[in-house]
Amino acid sequence: MTTTSYKPLLTDEFLRELNRVKKPAAYLPLELNLRAPKFEEREVRFVISYPDLYEVGSGHIGGKILYHVINNLTDFALMHRAYLPRPDMQALMEERGIPLYTIEEQRPVRDYDMWGLSFSSELTYTNALRIMQLAQVPVYSGERLEREELPLIFAGGPCTYNPVPLSPFIDLFAIGDGEETLVELARLYREVKRQGGTKKDFLAEARKVTGVWVPLFGRYPVKKAVFTRVPEGFYHTSPPVPTVETAQDRIAVEAARGCLRGCRFCQAGYIYRPYRERSESKVKELLLETFRNTGYEEASLSSLSISDHSRFNRLVPEVMELCHREMISLSLPSMRVKGFNPELASQIMQVKKTGFTLAPEVGSDRLRRIINKDLTNEDLFKAAEGLFERGWNRLKLYFMIGLPFELQEDIEALVEMLWTVYKLGRKYRGKKHLAAGISIFVPKPFTPFQWEPFADQESVKEKVEFIKRKAPRAFILRFHDYRQSLIEAILTRGDEEVAKLLIEANKHGCQLDGWDEYFNWEGWLKAFETSGINLKEQLGRRETSDELPWDFIEGVVSKRFLLRELEKAKNLQWTPDCRIVGCHACGACTPEQIKKLKEFPIPEKIEFSVPPRPKREFPLKRKVAITFKKVGPAKFLSVLDLTRAFTRTFRKFRVPLRYSQGFNPHPKVNVLFGLPVGVEGLGEVVELELSKEEFDFEALLPEANRFLPEGLELTGWLELHPKESAADRIERFTYKIKPAKEFTLEPLKGETATDRKGRKVNLKEWIEELYREGDTVKITVKVKEGRSLNVGDILNWMGLELKSADVTREELLG
C-alpha cells in the first residue's frame, strides 16, 4: 500500500499536442465549480470511472452521488474522476507514454488507493479493460495484487448483479447501493493502511462488509446493500459542471429510488427494491440548492416511475413554481401513460416546450399483459391525441421486439399503432415530427425472463423488415443494432467463460461498443472464434432448475417469486403494484419496509393544477460588455463552451439576464469574435443584455472567477448603450504566433493568397502590421463589418498548424 511519485502531465508541449485530438477540453480540468479535495489533503484516495467517454460518464447520476458522499461527508477520503478517452487521444497518450489521469489533478490513476468502475451497460465491459491498459495497470486482478503500489479495483452498478463475467479483472464488487458501502470501505482501508497491512489483508476484511463480494474467496453468499436514508438527502447539490457539451447535463434530483410496477423485462424494477422516496419539500430544496450552486438551465426529477410518487400532485406544482421563477426547464422523463392528462404536459413545459416521449413498449394489449405493463392501447391513443390537440407536434414512441411469447400478430399490432397515431396527428394543424425507437429484448438477471432465450437474428430481421415495409413513412424509425444487443445478451448472463471472450475482444481492438462510430463487429467475430465460446448455449434458454452464475447474490427478489411471475406471464396475468394490492412476497423488502409502503400510496389520478402564468417579458434595460481571458487549458474551450460556461456562471450569481421570446427562450449572452479551439485570448469580450438596471458587476468578477475553471478569468467590464455593440469598437486583431517548427512569412508579404476554401484574399487590404521579434511573429489584421482574416488561414500561409505553434490574441478593446 504505497503511493508513487507524482509528475505533472499538463506541460506546454502536451497542451500543444492536444490540438491533434477531437474535443480536447474533455481531458482537462475545465469544469465550473471544480472543488474536490487535493490528493495530499486526504489519507484515502478513490478514483471513480464510468468507463465511457467524458460526454457520457460525467452525467452518470450514481457517480455524482458517490463523489459527493466521499468528498463532502468524510474528512479523510477523497474521490477524483477519470473517463475513457477517444481513440485519437488514446493514441496520443500511448505515443507520449502518458498514463490515464484524473480530471481533478491530472495525476495518474495508478497513484490512487482504490479505483471504482461503475457499470450500467454491458457494452462498457470492453471499455473497462481498455481503460486499465491506458492506466498502465494489468487487467487481471491476480497480477495487480502482487504489486502493492497499484490501486485496488472495485466495481458497482446494475450490471454487477451478475458480477461473474468481470470477476477475473476486479478485486471486489459493491453490490447494491454504494453510499454507506464506500464509506465503510474507505474507513477499513485507512485502518489496514495505518497498520501496515497489504491489499490482501484489506480484501480479507472487506468481504465482511454488507454488499461486498471478493472473487478471491470464491462464490460465498453476498447480500446486496440497501441505503435506507435516501429521503434524508445525501445528494450532490454542488457538483462539477461541464463546460463542454455532455449527455444528461442538467440538475437531476432523485425523487424516488426503486419501483414496484414489476414490468417483467425491466431489471431496474427488481434490483432497486425496496421503494424509497423523498418528500416534495426535500426535492424542491435539493433542486433550488443545486441551481444556486451551478446555474443549470434544465432540471429533471429522476425516478423509475416519477408519476408513482405518492405526493406527485403536490410535488409538480411546487417544483414548477421554482422552475418558472428561475427560468429552468423541467422534464419528467418517466411519466406513466396510463392516466396521463395531456393538459398537464403543457403546464409542465411552461418554461421551454420540447418534444414528448411515450413508451407503450409493445403494440398489443395481449403482449403488454405478458410483460406486465399496466397500459392499454386506448390509454396511449388518448394521450397522443391530447398532445396533438394542444399543439404538440413532436412525439416519440418507444417499443421492444423479440420478447418472450411474442407472435406475428403483436408485430402487426405495433404497426397498426403507428398508423393510428399518425392519423390522430393529421387531425390537427402543424407538421408532425414522429419517431419510433425500437430496441431488441435482452433477458436480464433477476427478472422473470432471466431464463428466456435471446431472439435469433433471422426472426428479428423479419420483424424489422415487416415494420419498415408497413409503417407510415411519416415515422422516423430507429432500430437498435441486433449485433450490439447480441453482445449485451452474452455478457449479461455469462460466467467466467465470458471473461475469456472479453479478453479476446480486447485483443482484437473492441471498445466503445455502444457507439455506432466505434463499434467493431469484425473484432467481435474474431473474438467469438478465438475464445471458443458457445454462442448457442450462451444465448439460448436456461432451465429453471439450473444454477445461475448470480444465484449467490441475496437480498434481491427471490427465485421463487420470479418463477411465479414467469408462470403468470405465460398465462397473461397481471401482477399489480404492491402499493395497490399488498405485498407479493418478492423477498426484497424487510417487514419494516413493507409496513412503510403505506406512507407512499400511488396517486389515484395524475391530477394537479399549475396556475397559468402571464407571458414573461424581458425588456432591454441595460447592456454590458465583460472582458475575459482564456489561457492555458482554457484555450481549448470553443465558443459554444464559453457561452455555456458564462451563461451558467451569470445565472448562478443572479445576473438579471434578458431572454428571447418564444417556445425555447435563451439568454442574451454573446461571445464576440470567437477564437478557434487552441488559441489563447488575453482580452476577449462577452456581451450581455440585461432585463434590469441594478447589478454590481464589480462585485461579480472575483466571485465568478472562483467558480470558473483554470485559465478562464473575467478581467473587467464596461457599460454600453442599449443599441450599441462592443463589436463596433473593435477595429483590429493582433496575434502573437510562436512557431514550434520551421515556417515562412513570404506568402503574407505578397499581394494576394488563397485561403483554405480556395478563395483569393487581398492581403494588403487586411494586414496592417507584420514583423518578427526573436522566435515570435506578430501580425495585426483589420476588422471590417465584423469580418477579418481567419487565424487558421494565417497559420496555413506560414506553413503551420495549431499543433505546431502557440497562438495568442491580444486584447480586443485595447
Phi, psi angle pair for 62, to nearest 5°? -65, -40
Cα torsion 783, 785, 791, 796: sign: negative
- pLDDT classification of 347: cutoffs 50, 70, 90: low
Distance CA 3, CA 426 (A): 66
The pLDDT of 474-483, averaged and rounded, is: 97
Provide, rounded to the nearest whole percent, the portion of the chain with pLDDT above 70: 97
The closest of 668, 664, 675 to 733, measured between CA atoms, is: 675
pLDDT digits (tens, 9 = 90+) for 371-423: 999 899 999 999 999 889 888 888 999 999 999 999 999 999 999 999 999 99
CA 618 to chain centre: 32
pLDDT digits (tens, 9 = 90+) for 565-619: 999 999 999 999 999 999 999 999 999 999 999 999 998 877 777 777 777 789 9
List of long-range contacts for 464-467, beta carbons under 8 Å, 24+ apart: 464/401, 464/438, 466/411, 466/412, 466/415, 467/401, 467/411, 467/414, 467/415, 467/438
Distance CA 49, CA 556 (A): 25
Residue 353 has pLDDT above 60, yes or no: no
Q: Which DSSP string do the residues of 365-392 spell out, in sequence order? A: HHHHHHHT----HHHHHHHHHHHHHTT-
Which pLDDT score, from 0 to 100, does residue 86 have? 98
Which pLDDT score, from 0 to 100, does residue 348 have? 64
Q: Where are the alpha helices (DSSP H) in 340-438?
A: 342-348, 365-371, 377-389, 408-426
What is the residue type of 763?
L
Lowest mean pLDDT among 176-180, 313-317, 459-463, 468-472: 313-317
Lowest mean pLDDT among 3-17, 531-545, 548-562: 3-17
C-alpha dist (Å) from residue 400 to 60, 265, 359, 371, 436: 24, 10, 10, 11, 10
- pLDDT classification of 2: cutoffs 50, 70, 90: very low
Distance CA 326, CA 652 (A): 10
Region of 470 on the Ramachandran plot (φ > 0 left; ψ -120 to 50 alpha; else beta): alpha
Residue 448 has pLDDT above 80, yes or no: yes
- pLDDT classification of 5: cutoffs 50, 70, 90: low
Q: What is the Cα Rg of the chain in Å? A: 29
Q: Which DSSP string do the residues of 16-57 spell out, in sequence order? A: HHGGGSSSGGGGSS--BT--PPPGGG-SEEEEEE-SS-HHHH
- CB 487 within 8 Å of CB 123: yes
The closest of 160, 91, 72, 92 to 120, measured between CA atoms, is: 160
Q: Where are the alpha helices (DSSP H) in 405-520?
A: 408-426, 457-470, 482-492, 496-507
- CB 223 within 8 Å of CB 271: no
pLDDT digits (tens, 9 = 90+) for 99-115: 999 999 999 999 999 99
The closest of 615, 623, 613 to 661, measured between CA atoms, is: 615
The closest of 18, 9, 11, 10 to 803, measured between CA atoms, is: 18
Residue 130 has pLDDT above 80, yes or no: yes
The pLDDT of 721-737, averaged and rounded, is: 95
C-alpha dist (Å) from residue 671 to 26, 77, 500: 21, 40, 52
Which pLDDT score, from 0 to 100, does residue 224 have? 97
Residue 759 has pLDDT above 50, yes or no: yes
Q: Where are the alpha helices (DSSP H) in 510-664?
A: 521-531, 535-539, 559-570, 578-581, 591-596, 639-652
First to last CA, the chain: 55
- pLDDT classification of 1: cutoffs 50, 70, 90: very low
> 742: Cβ–Cβ under 8 A, 6 or more apart, which residues?
799
**Domains present along the chain, CATH in parentheses:** 12-223 (3.40.50.280), 250-334+557-600 (3.30.750), 353-441 (3.30.750.200), 614-729 (3.30.70.580), 730-814 (3.30.70)
521: cell is 463487429
What SS3 state is found at 688?
strand
C-alpha dist (Å) from residue 263 to 88, 158, 201, 566, 749: 41, 16, 42, 11, 72
C-alpha dist (Å) from residue 678 to 27, 781, 805: 13, 19, 10
- As a whole number, the mean pLDDT across the chain is 94
Q: Which helix (DSSP H) or strand (DSSP E) does residue 180 occupy? A: helix 179-194
240: cell is 462539477
Peptide bond into 221 cis (omega under 30): no
What SS3 state is found at 666?
coil
Which pLDDT score, from 0 to 100, does residue 426 have? 94
Distance CA 211, CA 248 (A): 28
Which pLDDT score, from 0 to 100, does residue 143 have? 97
Distance CA 191, CA 1 (A): 12
Cα–Cα–Cα angle for 314, 357, 308, rounded to 5 degrees:
30
Distance CA 343, CA 193 (A): 59
The pLDDT of 526-532, averaged and rounded, is: 96
243: cell is 463546460
Residue 259 has pLDDT above 70, yes or no: yes
The pLDDT of 500-529, averaged and rounded, is: 97
DSSP state of 602: P
Q: pTM for this one?
A: 0.94
pLDDT digits (tens, 9 = 90+) for 12-51: 888 889 999 999 999 999 999 999 999 999 999 999 999 9
What is the residue type of 35?
R
> 359: Cβ–Cβ under 8 A, 6 or more apart, which residues?
337, 397, 398
